[in-house]
Amino acid sequence: MPTDLTIDLTFDHSYAVTRLTELPGDGKHSPIYFPGASRTGGKDGILLKFTGANGAQWTGCFAFGDYQFCGVFALPNPNCACVVSNGAGYWVYVNEPEKSSEIRVFPIRDVRAVPDAQILLFADFTSLSAFGPGGQLWKHRVCWDDLKIQDIQGGIVRGVGYDPTNREQRITEFAVELATGRVLVSAYPNEH
């Protein structure tokens, strides 16, 4: 079981979320297993109890991925959350959990809330993906491997990544404009 869980509720949200260490033992509250929103069983994962705006409570078991990053993040939509379970991501509709789905970014290695831009930013090994209230805004590959976000200021996300084509400097910088997704700096071909 992962020990570190980031909880970032920066965006306005209409729910409460609590991490559980074991399933409720009363036999009355079976968890919902993700992916698939199954009530009959699923894979091991992070256990979370959600309380929606309507007062309804439910427990979700979010299947583990293969990377050591876990978190719960509020979205620009106050009734939704993003859950990351060892790199596997889930969009969670708190008041209607059966509508929840998997995030098509894997593995998720970093998530950053950018309230000024109404963006939730994801990083995998090579790409950045931005999601706003209406869904995915853009996705760009900015390096060959080991992407690390270093800074988000003035509407620009900056970071570094591995570049095997540069014999003198294997770690190169990238910069992407959040509002437009325009790549300002990248050593990766065809991205600027």
pLDDT band at 188 (very low <50, low <70, confident <90, very high): confident
pLDDT at 2 over 70: no
pLDDT recorded at residue 16: 97
pLDDT range class, residue 23, cuts 50, 70, 90: confident
Contact 163, 143 (CB under 8 A): yes
Rounded to an integer, the average pLDDT of 112-131 is 96
**Residues 33, 46: Cα–Cα separation, whole Å:** 10
145 — pLDDT class (breaks 50, 70, 90)? very high
Query: What average pLDDT score do residues 9-13 get?
Result: 96
* Single-letter amino acid code for the residue at 46: I
Sheet harboring 45-51: ordered strands across? 16-20, 45-51, 57-63, 32-34
Inform me whether the pLDDT recorded for 147 exceeds 70. yes
Which residues are paired to 31 by β-bridges? Answer: none
Confidence band of 1 (pLDDT split at 50, 70, 90) = low
pLDDT digits (tens, 9 = 90+) for 50-95: 999 889 999 999 999 999 999 999 999 999 999 999 999 999 999 9
Of the chain, the percentage scoring pLDDT greater than 70 comes to 95
Q: Are 75 and 82 in contact (CB under 8 A)?
A: yes
pLDDT (0 to 100) of residue 165: 86
pLDDT recorded at residue 3: 61
- Per-residue pLDDT averaged across 23-39, rounded? 85
Residue-averaged pLDDT of the chain: 92
Say yes or no to pLDDT of 101 above 70.
yes
E-strand ranges in the chain read 6-8, 16-20, 32-34, 45-51, 57-63, 71-74, 80-85, 88-93, 101-102, 110-114, 119-123, 127-132, 135-141, 145-153, 156-162, 171-177, 183-185
* All domains in the chain, ordered by first residue: 1-103 (no CATH), 109-192 (2.40.10.480)
CB count in 10 Å sphere of residue 94:
24
Q: Please say whether the beta carbons of 94 and 100 come within 8 A.
A: no
